[in-house]
Every structure is written in structure tokens, then in C-alpha cells.
Amino acid sequence: MALHIDLTGRVALVTGGSRGIGLGIARRLVAAGATVVTCARSEVDAPEPGTRHLTCDVRDPDSVAALIDRIVAEESRLDILVNNAGGAPYALAAEASPRFHDKILGLNLNAPLLVAQAANRVMQQQSGGGAIVNISSISATRPSPGTAAYGAAKAGVDALTVSLAVEWAPKVRINSIEVGLCRTEQTDDHYGSDRTVAAIEATIPLGRMARPEEVGDVAAFLASDLASYVSGAKVACHGGGEPPVFGIIVNQQEQG
């Protein structure tokens, strides 16, 4: 019998799920049969087919509590949480204000914990428990100049993941995905010309950035019964990562 990811009957929440990586995740969960709710601070003109969109500030406890209560009231359960909302603009650490760093840490570390707590309270009462997938970053495991607070926050997300996987077992499984560079609607605005993007992609072992749906495939797997014995794991989705500088130098010398 062929293996396939089946999330039929599961209710999933994807934070920051209306665009970018979050949208790719939402699409793959829908394709696997899940009932998917996305959330963001603002409304969307047209929700992705198969999803329902609600507004929520994931940094605000009251807003998060209202969101989870509404999902449970309307769907009777919550089986999957994907903590995807996050991000950070470029800012050198020596020049950024304390308020700026507080906001980055609040969105990328405190908010995932806040939403996870609310989801866990529901999942612990369900016979089937639940699964939480935290979207982390390659920035958690290597220097992140220009986004130092973001990298520190994502390292915190990884630490949070392994600790909660112990605290909330056996009813709730929690894993994180270490996401590398990913092509989204903001890629060109962030990196500039196609030539610049191509140069960046040439440094990735697989030769290109990820597609949002590829991150979604990993999230769908971790949320499914195929990953029923996977908890507290950090799953890399970065195309092989970023080669160390000495590797690039050696390769250039061999080609020269």
C-alpha cells in the first residue's frame, strides 16, 4: 500500500498563513485534506481556496485566546498548529533600538509560545492530542548579521520546541523546521535583481531557493500520522544549507 499524507478530519491553524511560506503551508495542508484556518493581523481580500482567514495579533494574549476559542467553537477541535508568523527587517544590532529588539523577539519567540500554550490547552483535552510545528530558520544555527535578534529568537524557538516536546508529551508532538532561503512574492523586493537572486541561489547546494509548498510538504508530514513517533526534532529544509567559506574557495580554485 502506498504511503500518503492524509489529514482528513483534522483542523489546522497556520499563523501568518495568508502569504509567503505560510500560504504555501496552508495550501499543502488543504491538499492533504485538513480544514485550514489562517490568521494575520489584517484581513485578506480573498482567502486561499479551502481556507478560512481570521484576524489576530499573535503577540496579544487576549487576541490569541479569542482566536483559539472561536476555532474550537466553530470546528469543535484543533489538531494542528503551525507557528509560522514572524520575520525581521535588516538592522545592525549596534544601531537598533531596544524597542526594535523587543518587537522582533516578541513576534518571533514570545508569540509562538503564546499561541502554542493556547493550542496545547485544547489538544491536551482531545483523545487524539495534537501536533505543533514551529517554523524556525537556518539563522538559528549560523551567524545572522543584520538580523541578530531574529536569529537569536529562532534559536530560542528551537530550544522551546525540544522543551515543550518533553513537557506536553505524550498528547502533543512538537517539532521545528529549519527553513533556508525561500522564493516568495517578496524575494525580488528583498534581494533586488534576478542576477542577485541567481548569485545567491548558486551558493545553495541544491542550486535554488525553496518553494513555499516544499516547506508545506515538510509541515504536513510532521503534522501527520507518518510522523507519529517524531517529536522534539529539528528538520532541515534548506537545500543543503550554506557551504562554509573554505568550501567556496576550494571549489573556485578547482574550477580555476
Tell me, yes or no, if 191 is annotated catalytic.
Answer: no
Query: What is the three-state SS of the chain?
Result: CCCCCCCCCCEEEEECCCCHHHHHHHHHHHHCCCEEEEEECCCCCCCCCCEEEEECCCCCHHHHHHHHHHHHHHHCCCCEEEECCCCCCCCCCCCCCHHHHHHHHHHHHHHHHHHHHHHHHHHCCCCCCEEEEEEEEHHHCCCCCCCHHHHHHHHHHHHHHHHHHHHCCCCEEEEEEEECCECCCCHHHHHCCHHHHHHHHCCCCCCCCECHHHHHHHHHHHHCHHHCCCCCCEEEECCCCCCCHHHHHHHHHHHC
**One of 90, 150, 191, 229 is an active-site residue; which one?**
150
Cα–Cα dist 169/195, whole Å: 47
Which residues form the catalytic set?
Answer: 150
